[in-house]
Amino acid sequence: MTDEPVPTRPPLPETRSAATYPGLRDKVVLVTGGATGIGADIVRAFAGQGAQVAFLDIQDGPAAGLVGELAGAAHTPVFLPCDLTDLVALQAAIAAVGDSLGPVSVLVNNAADDTRHAIHEVTPEMWDHALAINLRPQFFAAQAVAPMMRGLGGGAIINLSSIAWRIGVEGLVVYGSAKSGVLGLTRALARALGPDNIRVNAVEPGAVMTDRQRALWYPTPESVAAMVERQTLRHALLGSDIARAVLFLASDDARMITRQSLVVDAGMI
C-alpha cells in the first residue's frame, strides 16, 4: 500500500501534538509485533519519549526499515527476530533484552494475527495456532518480565485486545475469542502482580487504518469513508492514536490505574 492520506475530515487540533512523559525517558520498553502497523507506531511513540525500545517480530525487512527510520532517536530501537509461537525463543529473546538493555520496565503485548475464517473452515489446528499468537504469548511474556519489574520496584504491562470481541466481526470467531481472553488475562495478572507494584491494563483498538487493514478491508477511499461514518468521531483511526493511549498507561500519570481496559475506537456505532 502507498502512504496516500486517508480520505476523511481534517485532523482534530489535538492530533497535531502529543504529551511528553519524562518518566519514560531511558526506560527499557519491550514491544511484541513491533515491525509494522500499530506495533510500529508504538515503537515510534516510545522512541520519541527517549525510551530504550526493543521489539520482537518475524518480519526482518520492515523491522530493519523501522530501526533505520528511528536511528536519530535518543536510543535507537533494538530489533530481535522472534516467532512468538515458540515459547522457548520468546523467553530467550526477553532474557536477551534484559542482558543487553537492562530490566524491562514496560511490556506492550501487541503482536496478533486477525486472519478471518468462516466457522466451517476452522480446524483444531487453526484454533490452537490462533491462540498461540493472540493470547498465549501475552501470558508468557508477562511471566518472563515480572521478575525484572519486581526488581525495579514496579512496572507496567499493556495488553492489546480489540473491540472485535464486543461487536462480533464476521470471520473473527477465533480471534475475537482470544481477544476476549486478553481481558480476562489482564484482570488476573493485575490482581496477581499488583503487590509488586506492577500495573496491568489493556487497550481495545477499533478499526485502525494500518496498511494491512487498508489492503485487506478498506482498499478504496469510499470503504475508508464508510467505516469513518460508523464512528461517533468522524476521523480515521490511526495507529498513532492507539500508541498515545499505550504511552499514557505506561506513564507515571497512570500510576494508580490497573485492571482496566481502554477502548480506543472513535466511538464506533
Rounded CA-CA distance 14/51 in Å is 23
Cβ–Cβ under 8 Å, residues 79 and 55: yes
Q: How far lies 213's CA from each of 61, 79, 103, 161, in Å?
A: 19, 24, 34, 16
In SS3 terms, 57-90 reads as ECCHHHHHHHHHHCCCCCCCCEEEECCCCCHHHH
Task: Give the closest residue to 183 by CA, choosing from 156, 165, 208, 167.
Answer: 165
Task: Give the closest residue to 75 by CA, choosing from 22, 23, 29.
Answer: 29
Cβ–Cβ under 8 Å, residues 199 and 156: yes
Known catalytic membership, residue 218: no
Assign 249 to helix, strand or coil.
helix
Give me the catalytic one of 175, 204, 231, 238. 175
How many CA atoms within 13 Å lie on the side-chain side of 134?
25
DSSP 231: B
Assign 198 to helix, strand or coil.
strand
As annotated, the active-site residues are 175
